[in-house]
């Protein structure tokens, strides 16, 4: 299984962000005859100085469904890849939106989607200070685990990483890989990004595919941590990119996952009932 994560430094300029992603897909190293799974980071087509700009963009379009979805579908089809398409705003209620990631197959068809469950309403000691995603976004209400040629793929987004019950629910629903589009702040990323990813991988015995934003955005109004990484079910870092934009790649061996789960069957040993979340 060939997995590729793209680390981005996205801005408010949708056309420029789209052009960058397309140029990187054109350069994507490929293995002949192998399916390719690509994971993009959170807000990869639109990273505003404030979350409200996500909703404003969609409302200004006058559409219930963002044209960004069509752009992502076209990229998956053009480059013949399975694509976890970062996040895009989708109209919800009360002028708020969902932060949604889609999984497209290599023909551009939607295989599934997931709306961010946990919203980042946090005070951080950085230049932004206050993050209030709930002012812009509605939380999702279900998990998403999707059948793919790469295995059963769970979807999560950024702040979800801090909630192990969500990852456990995906494991109980059959997840073998979990994709995590993210835009961790530089402050919280430096403190917690790597240990949280490794913990979720070890607990779920899944591959974690964490694609991140990196650097200063929109002339320094936001700064993100980076360190996109692929971590195996034993918690080992298979590939990572600490800084800069570009690809993080690894070839995953599902037999390794099966061996780890067989030798340490933690899911069978768990004596607590799984969280009652509806499966998509």
For 91, the token pair is: 């109209």
- Give the position of tokens 């993100």: 224
Residue 232, helix vs strand vs coil: coil
Q: Which of 43, 44, 69, 116 is catalytic?
A: 116
The active-site residue, picked from 158, 172, 186, 241, is 158
The yes-or-no answer on residue 279 being catalytic is: no
Q: Which DSSP symbol is given to 218? A: T
75 close to 83: Cβ distance less than 8 angstroms: yes
Q: What angle do CA 278, 146, 194 make, to 5 degrees?
A: 90
39 token code pair:
């994971």
**Active-site residue flag, 116:** yes
Q: What angle do CA 116, 118, 122 make, to 5 degrees?
A: 125
DSSP secondary structure letter of residue 221: T
Angle at 116 between CA 113 and CA 122, to 5 degrees: 165
Strand, helix or coil for residue 51: coil
Q: Which of 8, 42, 43, 138 is catalytic?
A: 42
Cβ neighbours around 87 below 10 Å, total: 29
Is 34 marked active-site? Answer: no
- Quickly count: other Cβ atoms within 10 Å of residue 96's Cβ: 18
Return the active site residues: 42, 116, 158
């Amino acid at each position: 299984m060939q997995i590729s994560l793209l680390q981005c430094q996205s801005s408010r300029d949708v056309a420029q962000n789209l052009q960058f992603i397309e140029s990187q897909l054109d350069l994507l190293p490929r293995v002949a005859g192998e399916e390719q799974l690509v994971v993009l980071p959170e807000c990869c087509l639109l990273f505003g100085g404030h979350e409200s700009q996500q909703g404003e963009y969609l409302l200004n379009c006058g559409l219930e469904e963002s044209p960004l979805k069509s752009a992502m579908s076209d990229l998956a089809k053009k480059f013949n890849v399975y694509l976890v398409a970062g996040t895009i705003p989708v109209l919800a209620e009360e002028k708020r939106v969902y932060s949604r990631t889609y999984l497209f197959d290599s023909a551009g068809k939607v295989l599934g989607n997931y709306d961010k469950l946990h919203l980042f309403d946090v005070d951080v000691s950085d230049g932004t200070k206050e993050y209030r995603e709930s002012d812009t976004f509605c939380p999702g209400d279900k998990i998403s685990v999707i059948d793919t040629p790469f295995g059963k793929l769970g979807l999560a987004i950024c702040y979800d990483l801090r909630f192990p019950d969500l990852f456990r629910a995906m494991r109980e629903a059959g997840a073998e890989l979990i994709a995590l589009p993210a835009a961790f702040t530089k402050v919280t990323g430096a403190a917690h990004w790597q240990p949280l990813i490794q913990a979720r991988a070890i607990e779920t015995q899944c591959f974690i595919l964490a694609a991140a934003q990196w650097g200063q955005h929109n002339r320094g109004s936001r700064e993100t941590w980076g360190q996109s990484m692929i971590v195996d079910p034993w918690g080992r870092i298979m590939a990572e990119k600490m800084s800069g934009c570009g690809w993080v790649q690894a070839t995953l061996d599902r037999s390794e996952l099966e061996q780890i789960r067989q030798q340490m069957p933690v899911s069978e040993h768990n004596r607590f009932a799984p969280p009652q979340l509806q499966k998509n």
